[in-house]
């Protein structure tokens, strides 16, 4: 193998075409030879036993700590929060110890807003706790997939990875005839662990549901399993990457790495190497004169376009998978990485979801309930406005304006009557596409908050692209010439009406954001006029005399 070169100077910053995670390295991967089935089986038994012990401790803690407390009492709520936190910390320790898919499962759960907040906050630390695999094991995967002479393809190949995630790590390399590339290599032995770990998680979720019928997380395990199966196939990820690039080919604000198919397999993915930094690196944005609020608005529009127009959704939009590439003078583009978890939305779902947002914008409660019934949400449809726009279903507040004090009081009373059984039933009733959209929406909300922007940026982007998609579809499906002309006219009027509403909301949002500037300006004008009038006093006295 050619001499492996060290990484470029530390002063350079990188944009890598894979799931990047930073922070302290606190988890180390130790893999056994996947060819030794007995070792794999023994390792699986140990991991499963450890998981069973953790879940048993959690179940006992819940049963003992909540025994005798009335579910509707304040004491119950306080104690439940404490137990949730203790159990979440035990679960975090389990994920850190078992590694592999358990880390991935913890990351997946942390991004779902419908799990108790103590779990999502505690497990979110898993994104920054993955240590890379030893290169001698990575080299075995490279040789197995690219052949024993794979090193002849590269002018240099850095042994030290530039990013490590839960199922793969990325190395910087220089490829003959193509320049710098990012090579994503899957950790060895993952597929042999997968079935064992998924079976364990499925059994544990059923065990929890047996002890606590209201806590049913089978929907979460199923969603996680479906996403990871696809993520382990790098050929599928490469196809997703190319499709995402094609979808945004006319959008100068979005970049997607190019794929090098001759050096891509199920376990090795070779892509274009670019430069940039994580989307939530505020210091980096400041140094390059880039507005974090503008980044948030562009990101919201990118997500909205995926959901409402393309119907093809990036399912793992955490900060390591969205990077900012500076273009000078405060300009930038967003680079979308790691397309292992992508979701093709059902066309009927996409159209209904657009209709749902139209109803949310105009607060059409009857339409919201009707669409909710189509989604299978039933009586829980009344909470769609709260989930997505922060308003109760009968709110009089404008989009993005939140709730009045009276509305908050009424909503608190309604939510207090909800049990975990209701949350479980609600999540089980929703189609898989809805769960994917909810997860992406949760990740987007978090990023927007980290960037210091208002959630109104997200609401306006969703409203804009939902209505745009409905407008395009209605025009495309018009029938006879006269009917088509009338339909286009009617839809055009509705679309212009909505755009005027959105522009006004955007203007109000801009004015609100500039309120401090306007206040300072008025104060400055007042101060200048006062000084001017004071300067005239001596002259007025002379004239009076």
* CB of 435 closer than 8 Å to CB of 223: yes
- Lookup: tokens for 382: 């009344």
Residue 77: in which H helix or E strand, if any? helix 74-98
- Residue 474 to residues 139, 213, 345, 488, 489, Cα–Cα distance (Å): 54, 45, 19, 8, 11
**Calpha distance 508→516 (Å, rounded):** 14
Helices marked H in 347-455 — which ranges?
A: 347-362, 365-375, 384-389, 405-416, 420-429, 432-450
346 is catalytic: no
Quickly list DSSP for 16-63.
-SS----S----------TT-HHHHHHHHHHHHHHHHHHHHHHHHHHH
SS3 328: strand
**Calpha distance 422→382 (Å, rounded):** 13
**Calpha distance 233→284 (Å, rounded):** 33
Comparing CA positions, the residue from 127, 245, 237, 244 lying closest to residue 185 is 237
* CB of 154 closer than 8 Å to CB of 173: yes
Candidate list 158, 197, 281, 316, residue with the active-site label: 316
Cα-Cα-Cα-Cα torsion 340, 226, 188, 38, nearest 10 degrees, comes to: 180
- Residue 432 to residues 219, 230, 375, 427, 440, Cα–Cα distance (Å): 9, 15, 10, 10, 13
End-to-end Cα, the chain, rounded Å: 101
**Calpha distance 311→40 (Å, rounded):** 39
SS3 300: helix
**Calpha distance 15→17 (Å, rounded):** 7
Measure the CA angle with vertex 245, ends 163 and 432; round to 5°. 80
Cα-Cα-Cα-Cα torsion 100, 313, 381, 397, nearest 10 degrees, comes to: 110
Residue 518 φ/ψ, nearest 5 degrees: -65, -40
Three state DSSP letters for 167-216: CEEEEEEEECCCEEEEEEEECCCHHHHHHHHHHHHHHHHHHHHHHCCCCC
- Lookup: tokens for 247: 């979808």
Which sequence positions are flagged as catalytic?
316
């Amino acid at each position: 193998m050619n001499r492996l070169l060290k990484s470029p100077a530390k002063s350079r910053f990188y944009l890598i075409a894979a799931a990047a995670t930073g922070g302290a390295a606190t988890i180390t991967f130790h893999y056994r030879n996947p060819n030794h089935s007995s070792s794999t089986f023994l390792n699986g038994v140990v991991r499963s036993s450890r998981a069973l012990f953790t879940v048993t401790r959690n179940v006992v803690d819940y049963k003992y700590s909540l025994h005798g407390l009335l579910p509707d009492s304040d004491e119950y709520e306080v104690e439940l929060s404490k137990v949730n936190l203790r159990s979440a910390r035990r679960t975090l320790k389990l994920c850190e110890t078992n590694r592999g898919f358990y880390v991935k499962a913890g990351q997946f759960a942390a991004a779902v807003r419908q799990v108790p907040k103590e779990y999502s906050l505690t497990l979110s630390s898993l994104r920054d706790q993955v240590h890379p695999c030893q290169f001698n094991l990575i080299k075995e995967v490279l040789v197995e997939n690219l052949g024993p002479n794979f090193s002849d393809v590269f002018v240099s190949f850095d042994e030290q990875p530039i990013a490590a995630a839960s199922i793969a790590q990325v190395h910087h390399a220089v490829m003959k005839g193509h320049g710098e590339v990012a090579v994503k290599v899957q950790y060895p032995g993952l597929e042999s662990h997968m079935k064992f770990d998924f079976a364990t998680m499925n059994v544990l979720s059923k065990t929890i549901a047996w002890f606590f019928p209201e806590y049913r997380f089978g929907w979460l395990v199923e969603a996680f399993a479906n996403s990871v199966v696809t993520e382990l196939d790098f050929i599928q990820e490469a196809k997703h990457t190319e499709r995402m690039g094609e979808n945004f080919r006319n959008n100068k604000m979005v970049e997607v790495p190019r794929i090098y198919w001759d050096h891509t397999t199920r376990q090795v993915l070779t892509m274009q190497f670019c430069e940039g930094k994580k989307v939530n690196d505020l210091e980096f944005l400041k140094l390059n004169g880039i507005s974090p609020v503008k980044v948030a608005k562009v990101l919201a529009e990118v997500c909205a376009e995926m959901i409402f127009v393309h119907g093809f959704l990036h399912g793992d939009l955490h900060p390591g998978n969205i990077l900012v590439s500076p273009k000078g003078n405060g300009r930038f583009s967003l680079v979308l990485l790691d397309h292992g978890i992508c979701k093709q939305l059902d066309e009927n779902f996409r159209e209904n979801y657009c209709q749902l947002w139209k109803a949310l914008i105009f607060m059409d409660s009857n339409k919201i309930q009707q669409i909710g019934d189509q989604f299978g949400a039933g009586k829980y449809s009344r909470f769609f406005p709260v989930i997505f726009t922060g308003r109760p279903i009968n709110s009089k507040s404008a989009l993005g304006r939140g709730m009045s004090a009276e509305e908050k009081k009424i909503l608190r009373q309604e939510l207090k009557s909800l049990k975990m059984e209701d949350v479980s039933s609600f999540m089980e009733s929703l189609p898989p596409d809805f769960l994917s959209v909810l997860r992406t929406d949760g990740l987007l909300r978090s990023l927007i908050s980290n960037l210091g922007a208002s959630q109104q940026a997200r609401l306006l982007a969703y409203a804009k692209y939902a209505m745009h998609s409905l407008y395009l579809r209605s025009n495309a499906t018009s029938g006879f010439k006269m009917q088509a002309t009338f339909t286009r006219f009617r839809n055009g009027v509705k679309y212009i009406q909505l755009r005027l509403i959105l522009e006004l909301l955007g203007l109000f949002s801009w004015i609100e954001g500039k309120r401090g500037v306007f206040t300072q300006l008025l104060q400055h004008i007042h101060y200048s006029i006062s000084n001017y009038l004071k300067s005239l006093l001596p002259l007025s006295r002379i004239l009076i005399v």
